[in-house]
Amino acid sequence: MKRHKKIVNLIPLQARRFKITYIFFLLLIFGLFGRLVNLQVFSSSDLQKKARLIQFTKTSSLKSRRSIVDRNNRLIAYDKTLYRLWAHPKYFHFPGDITNRSRSIEEVVSKLSPILKVKDQFLLSKFENKLLGIELLDGITENQAKKIQSLHISGLDLVKYSQRYYPQRNLFSNLIGFVNYENKGSAGLELHLDNQIKIINKGNLLKKGGDGTPLPDNSGPTDFISDYKSLGLTIDSRLQKASFKALSKHVIKWNAKKGFAIVMNVNNGEILSLASIPSYDPNKYWEYNSEIFKGWYSQDLFEPGSTFKPINLALALEEKVIQREGFVEDSGKVKVGGWTLSNWDKKGNGYIDYPKVLQVSSNVGMVKIMQNLPSKTYWDWLYKLGISKNLETDLFESTAGQLKSKDIFVSQSIEPAVASFGKGFSISPLKLAQLHAVLANGGVKVIPHVTLNFKEKLTDNFKEEIFSKEVSRIVLEWMESVVDKGSGVGAKIEGYRIGGKTGTSQKAIDGRYTSKKVCSFVATFPINNPKYVVLVVIDEPTKAYAYGSTVAVPVAKEIIESLIVIEKIPPQIEKNKLIVKKP
| DSSP output for 449-500 | B-BTT---SS-TT---B-S-HHHHHHHHHHHHHHHHHSTTGGG--TT---EE
Cα(306)–Cα(298) distance, rounded to whole angstroms?
Answer: 20
What pLDDT is stored for residue 47 in this prediction?
64
Query: Residue 241 sits in which domain range?
Result: 237-578
3-state secondary structure of 126: helix
What pLDDT is stored for residue 58 in this prediction?
55
Domain end position, chosen among 178, 202, 226: 202
Count of helices and strands (H, E) across the chain: 19, 22
CATH assignment of the domain containing 143: 3.90.1310.10
Domain end position, chosen among 202, 229, 248: 202
Residues 143, 189, single domain; the answer is yes
- CB 200 within 8 Å of CB 37: no
Q: Around Cβ 498, how many Cβ atoms within 10 Å?
A: 24
Is 10 contained in some domain? no
Q: Around Cβ 557, how many Cβ atoms within 10 Å?
A: 23
Residues classed as catalytic = 306
Residues 147, 243, single domain; the answer is no
What pLDDT is stored for residue 13 in this prediction?
64
What pLDDT is stored for residue 4 in this prediction?
61
Amino acid letter for position 377: T
Residues 407, 523, single domain; the answer is yes
Domain total of the chain: 2
CATH assignment of the domain containing 524: 3.40.710.10
Is 13 contained in some domain? no
Helix axes 309-318, 375-384, angle to 10 degrees: 120
Residues 385, 499, single domain; the answer is yes
Nearest to 581 by CA among 573, 104, 89, 327: 573
Residues 365, 463, single domain; the answer is yes
Is 368 contained in some domain? yes
Residues 275, 175, single domain; the answer is no
Q: How many CA atoms lie within 13 A of 329 on its CB side?
A: 3
pTM: 0.79
Is 52 contained in some domain? no
- CB 534 within 8 Å of CB 265: no
What pLDDT is stored for residue 24 in this prediction?
79
Is 315 contained in some domain? yes
- CB 313 within 8 Å of CB 369: yes
Cα(538)–Cα(553) distance, rounded to whole angstroms?
Answer: 10
Residues 369, 507, single domain; the answer is yes
Is 37 contained in some domain? no
Is 481 contained in some domain? yes
Average pLDDT along the chain, 583 residues, taken 10 residues at a time: 64 72 80 77 69 56 79 91 84 78 80 84 78 79 87 84 88 91 86 83 54 51 55 94 96 94 94 94 90 86 93 95 91 89 88 93 93 95 93 84 93 93 92 95 93 64 81 95 94 94 85 85 94 95 92 96 94 62 46
Residues 119, 255, single domain; the answer is no
Cα(272)–Cα(533) distance, rounded to whole angstroms?
Answer: 10
